[in-house]
Amino acid sequence: MLNPVLFLALSAVAQAHTVAWVKGMYCLGGPNLSADNANTNTAVAPLYNLTQEEWWFQHDRGCDGAPPAHGDILQLPAGGTFTVELAHNRAQTTLSYDGKYTSEWPDGKEHPEDWAGPGSPADCIQDDGAMHTNNQSMAAGTAFAISYQSDLAAVTMENLAVFTVLEQ
């Protein structure tokens, strides 16, 4: 039986400093498996100006070498639901510090529902420099794809299939 390897991809991956955090992800504690880092943002840094070999599974920062801890598996029940936390840093999720730095927003702070850039609608949100969007309706979203390969090295763009997306 093949164990599906889950691949998480942000559609705005080159811009938004935001990642879906969950037990079962690679690089949850940073790239160093000997030092679980509750305050890591290694998986968050944008992928920019890299070859595919460098960006694929974030090889450039060593995340492809930092698999989840034994037993940390994200279950994806067919037709069911699963939960991840979108944040700029693991510190802003319930996976660190008992969740005391979390909020509804990726920066762990409080913001109005119509949070937007100052001045003209074309301005990006600036009080959180990592959002890189004008407002919620302009934020691209998150896409999740699955590959029925047990070996990470066998996962390719061709054998990944997007199975759900969350807009904005």
Ligand X SMILES: *[C@@H]1O[C@H](CO)[C@@H](O)[C@H](O)[C@H]1NC(C)=O
**Site residues (CB under 6 A) for ligand X?**
32, 34-35, 49, 116, 121-122, 134-135, 137-138
Task: Please identify, using beta-carbon distances, which residue of 19 and 66 lies nearer to ligand X.
Answer: 66
Sign of dihedral through CA atoms 43, 49, 55, 61?
A: negative
Shortest CB 120 distance to ligand X, Å: 7
Judged by beta carbon, residue 80 or residue 118, the one nearer ligand X is 118
* 15-33 b/e (C-beta count within 10 Å ≥ 16 → b): bbbbbbbbebbbbbbbbee
CB 84 → ligand X: shortest distance, Å?
Answer: 25
Q: Which is nearer to ligand X, 11 or 135 (CB)?
A: 135
- Whichever of 30 and 155 has its CB closer to ligand X, that residue is 30
Minimum distance from residue 145 beta carbon to ligand X (Å): 27
CB distance 4 to 147 below 8 Å? yes
CB of 154 to ligand X, least distance (A): 27
By the 8 A CB rule, do 125 and 135 touch? Answer: yes
Residue pair 10/142 in contact by the 8 Å Cβ criterion: yes
| Residue 30 C-beta: closest distance to ligand X, Å | 9
| d(C-alpha 89, C-alpha 73), whole Å | 20
Q: Which is nearer to ligand X, 113 or 158 (CB)?
A: 113
The bridge status of strand 161-167 relative to strand 141-147 is: antiparallel
Instruction: Count CA atoms within 13 Å of residue 10 on its CB side.
Output: 26
